[in-house]
Amino acid sequence: MMGLRSIPLIVVLMAGGALAMYLPAAHALVLRQHEVARAFFYSGSFLLILIAMVGIATLNRPPPRAARAHLGTLAGAYLILPPMLAVPFTLAVPDTSFANAWFEMLSSFTTTGATLYDTPGRLPPSVHLWRALVGWLGGFFVLTAAMAVLAPLSLGGMEVISGRVPGREQANQITRVADPTERLLRQSLALLPAYAGLTLALWGLLVLAGESGLVGLCHAMGTLSTSGISPVEGMTSSSAGLAGEVLIFVFLFFAISRRLLPGTAMVDRDTPIRRDPEVMMAFFFLLGVPVVLFLRHWIGAIETEDSRNIAAAARAMWGGLFTTMSFLTTTGYESTAWVASRSWSGLGTPGLILLGLAIVGGGVATTAGGVKLLRVYALYRHAERELERIVHPSSIGGQGVVARRLRREGAYVAWIFFMLFAFSIAFVTAAMSLTGLEFEPSMVLGIAALTTTGPLADLAVETPIRWSGLGGAAKMIAGAAMVVGRLETLAILALLAPATWRR
């Protein structure tokens, strides 16, 4: 670890990506797909040689100024790593272009899960493994960056509870500026055992439930990273059935609150988990939205004289619960019962609800995207307090200093972020429309990219929108929106702010 501190962080990340290429190479070799194995093995070896040369050239180079180095490294990772990760993809799939491979890798690394290959059989199994692995590594990178980079700068949702100006480091860090490589390596060592262990545990449980090895591993990686990547057509083609969906549902709770994942920092352990703001907001949506969806389908079943079918009603309730959890955590897996509930009631997909859930998003400092539950909770508490003051103008808000800070400064910053997020949706929608798309597809694709929920394109509209149908300009816009949604607008503004340059 001490030796890695003298190497620029982006070089360490590139080396990690190149080393990961040996896993799909070994998988393809076991399957006797030698051309695919050579594509990954040669790419990994060649890139490691180049990265070693770059590492030697930049060894012991003085690190840049702290605040800009932290955020600049995050932005640089999403600019440099996807093209590098696309090299073996292009060689393993000869009938695709490098631009499509870049989009696929960017989508995976930002845990968006949008794919240009509508037919899963078009890609070799090892390439599907590579997509899931890149998404899994992207989720791990998000976790470590949130703890080691964004949290000390009061970004990524931490600004709601910190009470500090977003983008500025704590005063006690001025005496010794913590190197970004050191921070990320230390946090990676703390998070990796839990993150990898939970992935292996879910994989084993899915295999015991009847899932095949490759599909189970990809679904386990897609669940822990909330990328929603699948080598088949999602849960509808899964062999694990209801048991597999229940297992995935349970493990999706790790995207609700950072305190559920061992090794995380910036957590108030004194507060009971039942009073955790993110957990309370998540249960509000998990209880409210499935009931609304069930009543909607039940009313539709009355019109078709099938309302007494208890089995169909139970499937509809479970389908709403699982799909709500999946899209609230911006994963995007669709329950098999979700399709059955539509057949029971004869009603179409309530796409607006899925869009709203993805916009709300999961927990702060988790792999989920969206606005984040903590920001929504801060806005809710502020609105509650304002209504209370209308009824009792002389009342005093209680529950301590932290609660008052959350209702005041936290709600103020949360509202700013929400407005920036809404402006980003409008901007991306307008940009997509300029490429020739109609308004509805442009809006859905923009929200899917900014919330890092690629499956929204298939499920949020009556007629599925295919990412493969986008032109070159639209793919570039969608890719940029994925990076903005993953980094968040406050972090980008903090990176571009002149005050950051002087630190």
Averaged pLDDT, 331-337: 90
174 — pLDDT class (breaks 50, 70, 90): very low
CA–CA separation, 312 and 340 (whole Å): 7
Q: What is the pLDDT of residues 218-250, one digit of tens each?
A: 999 999 999 999 999 888 888 998 999 999 999
Sign for the pseudo-dihedral over CA of 195, 485, 275, 332:
negative
Averaged pLDDT, 68-88: 88
End-to-end CA distance of the chain: 26
406 — pLDDT class (breaks 50, 70, 90): confident
CA–CA separation, 188 and 89 (whole Å): 26
Burial of 198 (0-12, 13-18, 19+ CB in 10 A): middle
Averaged pLDDT, 94-122: 93
Task: Give the pLDDT of residue 7.
Answer: 80
Residue 310 near residue 234 (C-beta atoms within 8 A): no
Residue 32 resides in a domain: yes
Residue 281 resides in a domain: yes
Which tokens go with 86? Answer: 């696309």
Q: What is the pLDDT of residues 182-206, one digit of tens each?
A: 777 888 888 999 999 999 999 999 9
Residue 487 resides in a domain: no
Q: What is the pLDDT of residues 282-323, one digit of tens each?
A: 999 999 988 887 777 677 666 655 555 677 778 888 988 999
- Looking at residue 187, its amino acid is Q
Task: Give the pLDDT of residue 173.
Answer: 45
Task: Give the pLDDT of residue 262.
Answer: 79
Residue 374 near residue 364 (C-beta atoms within 8 A): yes
**Total number of domains in the chain:** 1
Which tokens go with 118? Answer: 């509508």
Residue 449 resides in a domain: no
Q: Specify the long-range contacts of residues 96-100, CB closer than 8 Å, at least 24 apart.
A: 99/472, 99/475, 100/475
φ, ψ dihedrals at 113, nearest 5°: 80, 10
Dihedral (Cα; 85, 220, 462, 294), 10-degree rounding: -160
Task: Give the pLDDT of residue 484.
Answer: 94
Query: Is it the case that residue 255 has pLDDT exceeding 90?
Result: yes
Query: Is it the case that residue 100 has pLDDT exceeding 60?
Result: yes
Query: Is it the case that residue 102 has pLDDT exceeding 90?
Result: yes
Separation in Å, CA 346 to CA 302, 337, 343? 10, 14, 5
Residue 429 resides in a domain: no
Query: Is it the case that residue 254 has pLDDT exceeding 80?
Result: yes
Separation in Å, CA 124 to CA 128, 214, 408? 7, 12, 53
Q: Specify the long-range contacts of residues 84-91, CB closer than 8 Å, at least 24 apart.
A: 84/14, 84/17, 84/18, 84/47, 85/17, 85/109, 85/134, 87/43, 87/47, 88/21, 88/24, 88/39, 88/40, 88/43, 88/44, 88/130, 89/127, 89/130, 91/39, 91/42, 91/43
HSE of 92, CA atoms in CB hemisphere, 13 A? 32
Residue 425 resides in a domain: no
Instruction: Work out the percent of the chain whose per-residue pLDDT is above 70.
Output: 85
Domain range enclosing 293:
1-420
Residue 402 resides in a domain: yes
Residue 224 near residue 218 (C-beta atoms within 8 A): no
Query: Is it the case that residue 402 has pLDDT exceeding 70?
Result: no
Averaged pLDDT, 444-458: 94
63 — pLDDT class (breaks 50, 70, 90): low
Which tokens go with 416? Answer: 């700013």
Residue 492 resides in a domain: no
Residue 221 near residue 199 (C-beta atoms within 8 A): yes
Which tokens go with 273? Answer: 């988990």
Q: What is the pLDDT of residues 131-164, one digit of tens each?
A: 999 999 999 999 998 888 887 777 888 888 776 7
Closest CA to 324 of 366, 354, 280: 354
φ, ψ dihedrals at 254, nearest 5°: -70, -15
Averaged pLDDT, 474-482: 96
Query: Is it the case that residue 408 has pLDDT exceeding 60?
Result: yes
- Looking at residue 196, its amino acid is A
Query: Is it the case that residue 503 has pLDDT exceeding 50?
Result: no
Task: Give the pLDDT of residue 393.
Answer: 76
Q: What is the DSSP string of 68-84?
A: HHHHHHHHHHHHHHHHH
Q: Specify the long-range contacts of residues 256-260, CB closer than 8 Å, at least 24 apart.
A: 256/282, 256/328, 256/329, 256/362, 256/363, 256/366, 256/368, 256/373, 257/282, 257/363, 257/366, 258/146, 258/363, 258/364, 258/365, 258/366
- Chain-wide mean pLDDT for the chain? 86
Q: What is the pLDDT of residues 258-269, one digit of tens each?
A: 888 876 766 666
Query: Is it the case that residue 77 has pLDDT exceeding 70?
Result: yes
Sign for the pseudo-dihedral over CA of 88, 93, 99, 102:
negative
